[in-house]
Amino acid sequence: MTSALTIRQAAAFAGATVKTVRHHHRLGLVDQPARDVSGRRRYASAELPRPAQVRTVAGPGSNL
């Protein structure tokens, strides 16, 4: 699973911050991805559209 992205890379792909992606996890808007052996979230390519979709739907200035 070495080709999976970190939360920082996934957030950049979505046009959001790491804090925003974590907030989406807490709200249940984005499923938490699998973690690697070091405990870091690792996003597979199939999981990347969801954070971007939530960010797009929320729109600028949203609390989501």
| pLDDT tens string 5-64 | 898 998 898 888 899 889 888 988 888 888 889 988 898 888 887 777 777 776 666 655
- Is a pLDDT exceeding 80 seen at residue 1? no
Q: Give residue 15's Cα distance to chain centre.
A: 10
**Residue percentage of the chain with pLDDT more than 70:** 84
The reported pTM is 0.73
